[in-house]
Amino acid sequence: MSQVEAVKMPASVYTAIVQHAREGKPEEICGIVRGRGLVAGSAIRGRNIAGERIENYEVDPETLLLQFTFEEQGDEMMGIYHSHPVSVAWPSATDAWNAHYPESIYFICSLEFDDAPVIRAFRMTPHWIDLDIVQLRRELPFTEVRPHLFAYYHAPGAAAPALLHPITAHVPAPFYIDFFTDDHGDEVDSRIVSLVEHTLQVDWPDTAPAHP
């Protein structure tokens, strides 16, 4: 695997996201991260406007619009965060489907273990490749992850059937193949989204005792 640059985050931002996640549990919480490039500066709480907030999130548009005021001041929305109240800090198929900001880092805060919160950082990149979903459905184990949304997850090193070779030649694993169906069960939209994890470097304050 090629070297992936680390994302840097002040301890204050890390603890603010964990605190928000704890206050929101059992629902998922979400917000945005102001910063520059791969350096986080501050976390801004958003409202989760998803219909089903126990296992999904959608940042409210007012919060997303704040990114334009950051840009006027030379910053950007470098990240979007949300919590997984009871599951690991790994993007779900739904997270991949809803990742509309390929330039942003997606931070996921897991409270799977209440006394050991974990935040991990990902980039999620959609790939626009024509897919024969009818054929893919026949040969790959797709799961309906929520009504009308079907997903197949391809892990790094997983065996790829021949029909996946045109995809694996261009898209690095891990990736999701997601598709959405209408009421007749026919595919209406599909997408491949690859995941790259960035190491998260948190600058915890030095707690070592001072020299006497």
Q: How many CB atoms lie within 10 A of CB 49?
A: 14
- Give min distance, CB of 81 to Zn ion, in A: 10
- Give min distance, CB of 82 to Zn ion, in A: 5
Size of the residue set binding Zn ion (CB under 5 A): 2
Q: How many CB atoms lie within 10 A of CB 5?
A: 9
Binding status of residue 27 toward Zn ion by CB under 5 A: no
- Give min distance, CB of 108 to Zn ion, in A: 6
- Give min distance, CB of 106 to Zn ion, in A: 8
Applying CB under 5 A, among 80, 95, 175, 181 the residue interacting with Zn ion is 95
Strands (E) in the chain, as ranges, are 7-10, 30-36, 39-45, 76-84, 105-110, 118-127, 143-146, 149-154, 175-181, 187-198, 200-203
Q: Quick one: which segment of 38-46, 95-103, 153-161, 180-188 binds Zn ion (CB under 5 A)?
A: 95-103
| 72 flagged as catalytic | no
- Give min distance, CB of 31 to Zn ion, in A: 13
Contact 13, 40 (CB under 8 A): yes
What does residue 185 show for φ and ψ, rounded to 5 degrees?
85, 5
Contact 193, 126 (CB under 8 A): yes
Minimum CB distance to Zn ion smaller for 131 or for 195: 195
Contact 197, 3 (CB under 8 A): no
What does residue 135 show for φ and ψ, rounded to 5 degrees?
-75, -40
Binding status of residue 181 toward Zn ion by CB under 5 A: no
Binding status of residue 48 toward Zn ion by CB under 5 A: no
Minimum CB distance to Zn ion smaller for 70 or for 175: 175
Helix, strand, coil shares, percent, the chain, to 5: 20, 35, 40
Binding status of residue 110 toward Zn ion by CB under 5 A: no
Minimum CB distance to Zn ion smaller for 90 or for 180: 90
Sign for the CA dihedral angle at 89, 58, 19, 104 comes to positive
Applying CB under 5 A, among 67, 92, 98, 190 the residue interacting with Zn ion is 92
Task: Out of 5, 23, 27, 28, pick the active-site residue.
Answer: 28
Given the rule CB under 5 A, which residues bind Zn ion? 92, 95
Active site amino acids = 28
